Amino acid sequence: MAAIAHTDLDVFPLNLGGNTFGWTSDRSTSFAVLDAFTEAGGNFVDTADVYSAWGEGHSGGESETVLGEWLTARGTRDDVVVATKVGSLQQRRGLGRGNVVQALEDSLRRLGTDRVDLYYAHRDDESVPVAEQAATFDELVRSGKVRAVGLSNYGPERLREWFETAEREHLTVPVAIQPEYNLVSRRTHERDLAPIARQFGAAVFPYFGLASGFLTGKYRTAADLEGKVRGGAAGSHVNAQGLAVVDALVGVAEDRGVEPATVALAWLLAKGVTAPIASASRPEQVPALMAAPGLGLTGEEVEVLDRASQPFA
């Protein structure tokens, strides 16, 4: 388990992404994925109020609803660390105080719980001063409905401002950031965000740890992308530089007798990430994710992957 600094929360170092729940995974399949994850020792699930508003006929809240129904059906609420986010849902967009307060109530209702363990500002709202955002989230923590605060998709200047404001004004200091970070998306996090996280002792829970499935090694040509729900996102990486990373990834995976996805997530852990986020649309995909924390890449293997992914650093 990995401790989230400045909290009493301990999490398995693989954060299960809930964006598939109620979208590419129907209710029963989502339940099976969650069962497989927790039975293998997982306890940390990431969702957002906006998941999966992009799906046909969806309006958002589907993921939280499925997760809440599973928590109730299994009676596991006290055993699972639940993270969700506010700010991106069309009908609850932005980080004004009134909107955030009501959005939290909506999320609690869908999740069937009285508190969120880690509540993220999903993305910055530049129309709201950072000091006001920090005060709102501090209020939620003081209410007992939120245990800890995280920040996702913030630029370095306002990210730093939030940490500094919270410390100076004796408000709740964020304990985590959630950036995009993987072998084919390194530069922004490593250069701009990681130093801030280290300075303030914040955990790092990156999303797109597998680059929308590209780092599983299953997308090598345009034909591989046809008919895939996430093919568009993965397809942006199907080029010479991206495929060179996959080649290196597959080489390490074959040498170790594991899946490429396991190696891609293990690389993130070797880079100091607290728990990468990865999703599974089927329970059979879970073991490869759960194997990452125990793999332990060698320094030479990390160097091979670093070198292959240097164009993205």
Tell me which residues are annotated as active site: 51
Query: Angle between the 240-256 and 260-270 helix axes, to the nearest 10 degrees?
Result: 100
Q: At what angle do helices 130-143 and 97-111 cross, to 10 degrees?
A: 40
Helix 62-74 / helix 27-39 crossing angle, nearest 10 deg: 60
Which residue in 307, 169, 175, 148 sits closest to 241, CA to CA?
307
Terminal-to-terminal C-alpha distance of the chain: 29
Question: 3-class secondary structure for the chain?
Answer: CEECCCCCCEECCCEEECCCECCCECHHHHHHHHHHHHHCCCCEEECCCCCCCCCCCCCCCHHHHHHHHHHHHHCCHHHCEEEEEEECCHHHECCCHHHHHHHHHHHHHHHCCCCEEEEEECCCCCCCCHHHHHHHHHHHHHHCCEEEEEEECCCHHHHHHHHHHHHHCCCCCCCEEECECECCECHHHHHHHHHHHHHHCCEECCECCCCCCHHHCCCCCHHHHCCCCCHHHHHCCCCHHHHHHHHHHHHHHHHHCCCHHHHHHHHHHHCCCCCCEECCCCHHHHHHHHCHHHHCCCHHHHHHHHHHCHHHC
In 3D, which of 194, 175, 93 has the Cα closest to residue 137? 175
